[in-house]
């Protein structure tokens, strides 16, 4: 199977590290023109320079945008779509703060909703008109296993990501007639900066070493290891291709078998 995304324009959120970087690299390797989106311009410059270029017409760029500031984000993303269109949209953001249901306030949930839902909604709404006109589009939402089974101490992520999955399923049914697919990837444990931060928080709360906590997480996974960002990129490249043209409205676990034990 040869995935060829030549002449396709892709926009990838949170693309300077971890899962986002793995996705962006694989889409570029398959020939897509990739726009990296993140808040740190220095990291964006470095990530842009590292992206593969596999044909002479391939062009990559970056967009500086902070998902945690929705007012600013809305202005920036609206301006981007005034002069750009995308064929492949990967909705991926940094996650909200860890914490339990009892310790979070309604304001915390509003902040998480702005970060995880409103940014995804706004970007998707702006991407859809050109996709509808072309009768072709791929939207992939980077989500979490928490929509199947809430993860302890991640109440903000658990709640808001479930809302995104429900919304995107509804939307996928409405845009399917235009040959646009929308799918969610339910992320398990991947070797990223995000999981290292979560492990550090848990280590401090429980007074257990980070190494022990990592080992416990790995032992829960049938494959006994964390996922690699490039493995995530492989799935997203497939979902972005014509091979996945009849797959929509799905929520696909990518977790080394972890979801199967819930």
Q: What's the rounded Cα separation, in Å, for the pair 126 and 26? A: 24
pTM score = 0.92
pLDDT in tens, the chain (262 residues): 899 999 999 999 999 999 999 999 999 999 999 999 999 999 999 999 999 999 999 999 999 999 999 999 999 999 999 999 999 999 999 888 889 999 999 999 999 999 999 999 999 999 999 999 999 999 999 999 999 889 888 999 999 999 999 999 999 999 999 999 999 999 999 988 888 887 888 888 888 998 888 898 889 999 999 999 999 999 999 999 999 999 999 999 999 999 764 4
The sheet with strand 61-64 has its strands ordered as: 61-64, 33-38, 9-13, 88-91, 137-144, 180-187, 251-254
CATH of domain 9-190+228-261: 3.40.50.720
Residue keyed to tokens 């693309």? 15
Output the pLDDT for position 131.
98
Output the pLDDT for position 153.
86
Domain extents for the chain?
Answer: 9-190+228-261
Output the pLDDT for position 204.
84
Output the pLDDT for position 169.
97
């Amino acid at each position: 199977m040869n995935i060829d995304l030549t002449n396709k324009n892709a926009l990838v959120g949170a693309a300077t590290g971890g899962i986002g970087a793995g996705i962006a690299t694989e889409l570029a390797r398959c020939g897509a023109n990739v726009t990296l989106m993140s808040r740190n311009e220095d990291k964006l410059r470095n990530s842009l320079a590292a992206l593969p270029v596999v044909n002479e017409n391939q062009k990559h760029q970056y967009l500086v945008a902070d998902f945690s500031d929705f007012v600013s984000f809305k202005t920036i993303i609206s301006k981007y779509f005034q002069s750009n269109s995308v064929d492949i949209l990967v909705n991926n953001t940094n996650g909200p703060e860890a914490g339990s249901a009892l310790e979070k306030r309604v304001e915390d949930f509003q902040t998480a909703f702005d970060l995880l839902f409103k940014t995804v909604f706004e970007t998707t709404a702006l991407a859809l008109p050109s996709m509808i006109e072309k009768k072709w589009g791929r939207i992939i939402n980077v989500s979490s296993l928490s929509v199947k089974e809430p993860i302890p101490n991640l109440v903000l992520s658990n709640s808001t990501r479930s809302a995104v999955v429900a919304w995107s399923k509804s939307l996928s049914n409405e845009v399917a007639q235009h040959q646009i697919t929308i799918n969610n990837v339910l992320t398990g444990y991947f070797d990223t900066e995000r999981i290292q931060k979560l492990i550090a928080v848990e280590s401090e709360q429980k007074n257990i070493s980070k190494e022990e906590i990592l080992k416990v997480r790995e032992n829960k996974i049938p494959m006994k290891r964390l996922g690699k960002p490039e493995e995530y990129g492989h799935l997203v490249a497939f979902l972005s291709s014509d091979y996945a043209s009849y797959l929509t409205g799905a929520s696909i676990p990518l977790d080394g078998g972890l979801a199967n034990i819930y």
